[in-house]
A = this chain, B = another copy of it.
């Protein structure tokens, strides 16, 4: 859950930025993975500020609308790690946005990341089991198709996860 907060915090982990910069980066580079809109990012920044997870500095330059520069606080860092861990260990979303956590995996040690992904893998297996046993009580093919679609995505995720865990393992022994 709350993949959007994770994304914004993650971007602030590398450097302090103002809202426009964050949006620009998401639009240019992450449009494939996140569909978050401008106004949403701004409202998330405001929320994070209210929770004390970011500090704001206003920078005036001439007559322009002033820039609000956001930097992450200790509390924000805590939240970031919490969200990251739960994103990596969580398996409900089969969406790319649901796997935003992957993007920030370098902030954790390889072994931590591996452990979390193993938890996710286990949950994924349970989901697959639950999905496999759905009876196709209908005469049409529709309902059946949509369950097979979900099953295919879940299995794709499982394969990806298994490979990724393997990759992390190989990396750390090299």
What residues of chain A have their CB less than 8 Å away from a CB belonging to chain B? 32-33, 93-96, 99-100, 102-107, 130-131, 134, 140-143, 145-150, 152-153, 155-157, 159-160, 164, 167
Contacts and interface: CB of A to CB of B under 8 A. Distances in A.
A96 B150 contact: yes
Contacts of A102: 142, 145-146, 149
A152 B146 contact: no
A64 B44 CA distance: 42
Given A152-B156, A155-B156, 7 more contacts: A94-B153, A96-B153, A102-B145, A103-B143, A105-B145, A106-B142, A153-B157
B164 A160 contact: no
A99 B33 CA distance: 18
Question: What is the total number of copies of this protein in its complex?
Answer: 2
A50 B147 CA distance: 32
A94 to B, nearest CB: 6
Nearest to A130: B32
A107 B95 CA distance: 27
A8 to B, nearest CB: 15
B105 A142 contact: yes
A150 B32 CA distance: 8
20 contacts: A32-B131, A32-B147, A33-B147, A94-B95, A94-B96, A96-B150, A99-B150, A102-B145, A103-B142, A103-B145, A104-B142, A106-B141, A141-B167, A145-B164, A149-B160, A152-B159, A152-B160, A153-B156, A153-B157, A156-B156
